Amino acid sequence: MTNKEGNMDSKQLEKRKKVLLDLMNDKIYVPMKIKELAIILQVSKEERPDLELVLNELLAEGKIEISKRGKYKIAKEKTVTGTFVTHPKGFGFIEVEGRDDDIYVSEENIGNAFYGDVVQATLISGTTGKRQEGRITQVISHTVTEVVGIYEQSKHFGFVIPDNQKILQDIFIPQECAKGAVNGHKVIAEITSYGSSKKKPEGRITKIIGHISDPGTDVLSIVYAKDLPFEFPEKVLNQAERVKGEVSEADMQGRLDLRKVPMVTIDGEDAKDLDDAVSLEKDGNIWHLGVHIADVTNYVQENSALDWEAKKRGTSVYLVDRVIPMLPRRLSNGICSLNAGCDRLALSCLMDIDEKGKVIGSRIAETVICVDQRMTYTSVKKILEDQDAEEIEKYQEFVPMFEKMRELSELLRKNRHARGSIDFDFPEAKIILDKKGKPVDIRPYEANTATKIIEDFMLLANETVASEYFWQEIPFLYRVHDTPDPEKIQALAEFIRNFGYGLKGVQDEVHPKELQKLLSRVADSPEEALISRLTLRSMKQARYSTECTGHFGLAAKYYTHFTSPIRRYPDLQIHRIIKENLRGRLNAERIAHYQEILPEVAEHSSKTERRADEAERDTDKMKKAEYMQQHIGEEYEGVISSITSWGMYVELPNTIEGLIHVANLYDDRYYYNENTHEMVGSDLGKVYKLGQSIRVRVLDADKENATIDFVPAAIWE
């Protein structure tokens, strides 16, 4: 088995492995010990180490296995079950629950699987880790039953080209199943056959959304593609219509009357669902802060049609041209909205705060309130930041309270910073549309003193409520943010060493203060954008849970969502628990009830939140691409926000992001250095780095695929 020098080269090794596998695959073969294999293969004592080497190689590749009695045999095929997700380039991945790494499936091993299918696959021997490969052997069930796309008409049939690029096949539509659709219609097609390797999937059109040139059709297509509940069932609307539009004397009975306490709402100019009001007084060194939240549960009873629909939706969805509310507008914009000058039912978190910013006493109470003034972020900013004389004159009776609010807000923010709360300052986009839904301007939406005041007060109320109910040991819903995976923090620590930065506690459990310190050190440096983004990517996603495990990003031990019951179901759910507790009705039976239902509520609410985020992100990307279609050939200054093997993403000051494909870096042959996150030119040695400023020209923009392509302006010239 060896060459003249007594060593086995790679070709010999592969040959011996094949011989051994052929032997072990033989039908008459039974598991054998190494001695028996040596006899069959006529291996001498001197060549036994070579046989052991071959066996160890095959064991490492997973092609053979060894029994407890030391007998070698062909390894049993290992199978996995998971969700199949395709890639636009033809291959795909199987997402397996409880497994960190997805299973890679090459195009030839996909079989008849369709995007989103629950499949069973055999793991291919010799592939491990992140490159573990599989072969789909069975489609267990189909999860995608409808497709949103553009209809293309032929003489006797048609096709639906899916909007989702991960759905690789067009859907064949027989003429009699077209429902009158014509070229350019955005449609919903129900899949009637998933096809095969020789036959396209087939379907029938169930709804015509509109023509691609009609205003709003583009956004509505995403709404349907994400399966967002859009229209309220008639039963839900009827129930909302029966709700009284005014607060009665009977409604106020037993409630703490705060109608004479000065209070305001502070929201955006366009907001109509005002679910939080604030009041603030100071007595000596003690602040008396009131956060007053609409008592939605008074109008949405448990297990009613309104409640089931709110739970189904999970959250309101704020898209670029519309809001899809969690509750019918009669409630969200009417009796549940804390409109100025109207008596409203509320659940108030009343907090006493000392001069150090510590909550020294609190009370949660059912109240009746009357908001004195509906303020906007813009107006409060003009008063506190711009010292606008006209605005100060207009709201003069509230100006002293606003000044106190700013003082307390700064104190609370300072305290959060001291304990390690992490603040990522990435601007959101404000997309301005004309009457036809066309984007006419895009600019960053920046935080100001007014937005910070409301944020700080809501965070404190959420922490206060969470702390109180944690210590009462009552079933509850918490907003949790888990500690990052040590591997990701280790990778971040290794990378930032290139810039002279370090992280403590990487080997164990990193404290949020360490990440906060890192962000403070990189502030205003050339690498700020780079390190901030990598830090964000190293963290986990916040979610809802029945376990109070803390909020890493806020460095908070206790945190919940209490302040937005009009637009978030978890807030509505915990209001119900709080009110039952305040009224002494949380007996053993009700506690058992909540223990049973809350885990599912937490999981479902987390899913609907992610769905809403995806829809908002997709509509923003689409409108940004549409906006840039009007600016092809123009030049902009940007910052390299991400680098991959296929190119570099550049973000403009107005938050628009586009790709410089590696093929468009034609002044050199570039490769991606994964360790340093750099794009490096092979011949000339030019280096592009994350966070680097770069002037780009708009090469192309595609609204349908929501993509924007840039090219370096210097190369273009």
pLDDT digits (tens, 9 = 90+) for 187-223: 999 999 998 877 889 999 999 999 999 999 999 999 9
Instruction: Map residue 671 onto helix, strand or coil.
Output: strand
Least confident piece of the model among 352-361, 598-607, 690-699: 690-699
Rounded CA gap, 183 and 160, in Å?
A: 10
- Whether the per-residue pLDDT at 128 is higher than 60: the answer is no
User: 397-439, pLDDT tens digit by residue?
Assistant: 999 999 999 999 999 999 999 999 988 767 788 999 999 999 9
Average pLDDT for 444-470 = 95
Two tokens, residue 426: 């990435």
Other CB atoms within 10 A of residue 97 CB = 8
- Whether the per-residue pLDDT at 526 is higher than 90: the answer is no
Q: Which percentage of the chain shows pLDDT scores above 90?
A: 65
The per-residue DSSP string of 531-548 comes to HHHHHHHTSPPPEEESS-
Rounded CA gap, 13 and 50, in Å?
A: 9
Would you give the end-to-end CA distance of the chain in angstroms?
63
Other CB atoms within 10 A of residue 698 CB = 21
Give pLDDT, residue 486.
Answer: 84
pLDDT range class, residue 32, cuts 50, 70, 90 = confident
Two tokens, residue 422: 């992490």
Give pLDDT, residue 675.
Answer: 79
Q: Which residue has the higher pLDDT, 471 or 21?
A: 471
Other CB atoms within 10 A of residue 547 CB = 10
- Whether the per-residue pLDDT at 73 is higher than 70: the answer is yes
Rounded CA gap, 489 and 500, in Å?
A: 16
Rounded CA gap, 109 and 246, in Å?
A: 63
Give pLDDT, residue 389.
Answer: 95
Q: Which percentage of the chain shows pLDDT scores above 70?
A: 95
pLDDT range class, residue 688, cuts 50, 70, 90 = very high
